[in-house]
Amino acid sequence: MNAWRDLADRGRLRTHVPLAPLTTYKLGGPARLLVDVDDAADLESLAAGLEETPLPVLVLGRGSNVLIADGGFDGVVVRLGGGFAWVRWQPGLVSAGGATPLPQLARSAGRAGQGGLEFYVGIPGSVGGAVRMNAGCHGSETAEVLEAADVFDLRDGSRGERSPAALELSYRHSNLVDTDIVVAATYRTDPVDPEIAEETMREVSRWRRDYQPGGTLNAGSVFKNPPGDAAGRIIDQCGLKGYSIGAVSVSEKHANFIVAERKATARDVHDLVLSVQDLVRRRAGVDLVPEIRFVGDFGEISGGSGAEDG
């Protein structure tokens, strides 16, 4: 049976689906195809479909580290559904499905007296996105706590465990490619008093409220921190807080956040990121590397406003 038809018949496949609501920026155009996979059979059908019709693939988690182009994504967007959102415990280990929201994982583990994942409470992504990005904050990162990731390879339909070493995790990087889907991950944990875990998570949330522009449309830190420094500090030092293009600006609260208004375009965000990168290169001699992922076609950069090179 045609694999795409099979997915469509099971209600898993939709065409021309707007992606903006599926990301934290709430910007960007539609996906040519969107497949919501909920179990192993869906994954196998999808792999078979891609074998019949090879198309670019984007696995979308909670969309908190991506910017989708206004023209959308001309390929298949894959999302893990509720069948991949679960948390299980065993002594010293916590496993979670790839779609599990990180704050939910942190809270569940803490309540069960399993510590070490509290830093996840402030990261609005999924387990799959955290493995791919080696997400981290407050001095901790995924690589330090990950025991293994369960990865489905869409190219050949194989599935297997990969260790942090096999994933080559480094600062906000893994060797996962677009056809790799993290369907689950297992983490090592240390015993913790649930009240202490709760207090740690409250502290993490408080810090974020104080230092990050909560309640705005953004995708977290736009640039990676250069070794031994902070991208936000450098952008601020270059006088770029408040610098804007269209309805998008460098946050006054945290200069490594680029915040958008509802009426903004993805193109504005993209152009502002490149413009900040260029100005920082010229003013501070630092090459900032974007952490957020640009998806789709953004074309050439257009002009900016609000800051002149100096």
Ligand X SMILES: Cc1cc2nc3c(=O)[nH]c(=O)nc-3n(C[C@H](O)[C@H](O)[C@H](O)COP(=O)(O)OP(=O)(O)OC[C@H]3O[C@@H](n4cnc5c(N)ncnc54)[C@H](O)[C@@H]3O)c2cc1C
Give the footprint of ligand X on this chain (CB under 6 A).
24, 58-66, 80, 98, 122-126, 128-130, 132-133, 135-137, 176, 180-182, 218-220, 293
CB 51 to ligand X: min, Å: 19
User: Where do runs of H (alpha helix) occur along the chain?
Assistant: 3-9, 40-52, 102-111, 127-133, 142-145, 164-167, 194-211, 231-237, 266-284
78 backbone dihedrals φ, ψ, rounded to 5°: -115, 130
The reply to whether 172 belongs to the active site is: yes
CB 203 to ligand X: min, Å: 14
**3-state percent helix, strand, coil for the chain, nearest multiple of 5:** 30, 30, 40
Nearer to ligand X, 66 or 307 (CB): 66
Report which of 192, 83, 79, 168 is spatially closest to residue 128, judged by C-alpha positions. Answer: 79
CB 124 to ligand X: min, Å: 5
Nearer to ligand X, 132 or 270 (CB): 132
CB 121 to ligand X: min, Å: 10
Nearer to ligand X, 209 or 281 (CB): 209
Task: Give SS3 for 17.
Answer: strand
Helix (H) or strand (E) holding 136: strand 136-137
Alpha carbon distance 219, 225 (integer Å): 15
Annotated catalytic residue within 172, 208, 249, 275: 172
The reply to whether 221 belongs to the active site is: yes
User: Helix count (H) and strand count (E) of the chain?
Assistant: 9, 18
Annotated catalytic residue within 45, 221, 249, 275: 221
Nearer to ligand X, 24 or 108 (CB): 24
The reply to whether 12 belongs to the active site is: no
Beta strands 293-295 and 66-68, pairing class: parallel
Q: What are the residue numbers of the active site?
A: 172, 221, 291
